Structure 1
Amino acid sequence: MNISATLFLAFGMSMDAFAVSISKGAALYKPKFREALRTGLIFGAIEASTPLVGWAMGMFASQFVLNWNHWIAFFLLLLLGARMLYEGLFGAPEDENEPRHRHGFWLLATTAIATSLDAMAVGVGLAFLQVNIWWTALAIGFATLIMTTLGIMIGRFIGPLLGKRAEILGGLVLIGIGVQILYSHFMAH
């Protein structure tokens, strides 16, 4: 795979994380660049590791990954989206009167895993091609770092316009991405 194909793949893989990060940034109260970079690093590291995991699985059990990755992504995104919808509609039970300045690590990690399962499936496919999986995974991780950081900062400006509806919109975006993943899988078969 040449460098332009790798870059297209990398930025294509980062689009789900970008969409989610906009809603994550909108749900925060004036997120700083430091928080955007933290989120980008978490998403980027996970997005870089999933093609490696997929590549390794492709060497051993590719059929299982290809048969189930869409369902796993769908249910993770559905659960995370439902949680965001609930918090947007009924308010978070903790710190209800205090604005949120950052998301918890585990929430970000779970969201990153859910949005990076497509990169795992790509990793399975890359196991059958003559590619340098390490450079490809680094490119995917770096593209996701850039796009997620950018998404959080864009969300910073959208958040004040939407208010509490930003969390509702974010939940709908997560659920929509999950449905799109499931739809794409069934339309391909």
Structure 2
Amino acid sequence: MTAQIIIQIILYGISLSMDAFAVSVSYSLTYTGINRKRIFLIALTFGLFQAIMPLISYWLIEGIGQLVGIEKSADVGHISSLVITWLAFALLLFIGSKMILEGSKRLKQTDEEKVEKVFSYKELFVFGVATAIDALAVGVSLHSGTLSNNVTVWLHVSIIMVITFALSLVGVILGSSIVKLFKGKQDITTIIGGIILLLLAIWVVVAHYIGI
């Protein structure tokens, strides 16, 4: 294994982890009650999902290949990558639009009517899945050998997990700092978080078609 391959994997991990970074900023802009322990939990959740999703798709394509043959599994991989892209787009678009609508509604409410969105394990799980859906395409790429034939899938996902954890940690801290900047005005920060997810949804599709 050469240093060039290691650098390639790290750079790929960084590019993939930028989605998780954006979502972690969005999450911390939207929910209150994020203490130090939960900051690490959020980052760990995003890191784990970014590692698990490629393994799922890799083994799925591997299983299909054994059933129908390598050539047909390659076709399945191409179709799967397209479906994954648009699924990620739809999920991020839905969550982002919902956040913008909720934030806009809060702007019209009085202080007595406003209800804060408190940290929720259920919502964290949804965000974790949303940010990692497009990571399924990584497993497809690994199986097709487009990333690096000399490196195991385990090394890829391990590096991706570590980088995602680190960037998500930075993202949550950054989001929390922005909340303080807006003096806890959750309606405004929720709208900002929703806009981030809408931009990310568009980027997922653009990145797929331009080959990033």
TM interval, shorter chain, is 0.7 to 0.9
How big is the shift at 1:63? Answer: 2.8
Compute the TM-score of the two structures, normalised by the length of structure 1.
0.87
> Alignment partner for residue 99 of structure 2, among 80, 84, 89?
84
Q: How does 1:83-162 map to 2 (within 5 A)?
A: 83-91=98-106, 97=114, 99-102=116-119, 104-129=120-145, 130=149, 131-162=151-182
Q: Does residue 1:72 correspond to 2:87, yes or no? A: yes
Which whole-Å CA distance do the structure 1 matches of 2:113 and 2:12 have between them? 40
Compute the TM-score of the two structures, normalised by the length of structure 2.
0.78
Number of residue-to-residue matches in the alignment: 186
- For structure 1, the 5+ residue unaligned runs are none
Give the CA RMSD over aligned residues: 2.4
Residue aligning to 1:184: 207
Poorly superposed stretches of 4+, deviation over 6 Å = none
Retained in 1: the 8 A contact 2:99–2:193?
yes
How big is the shift at 1:15? Answer: 0.4
What secondary structure sits across from 2:144 in the alignment?
A: coil
Question: Residues 184, 9 of structure 1: CA spacing in aligned structure 2 closer, same or farther, 3 A cutoff?
Answer: closer
Residue aligning to 2:57: 54
Question: Residues 142, 187 of structure 1: CA spacing in aligned structure 2 closer, same or farther, 3 A cutoff?
Answer: closer
The structure number with the bigger radius of gyration is: 2
- For structure 2, the 5+ residue unaligned runs are 65-75
Which whole-Å CA distance do the structure 1 matches of 2:118 and 2:24 have between them? 14
Retained in 2: the 8 A contact 1:29–1:159?
no
Letter in 2 for 1:27: T
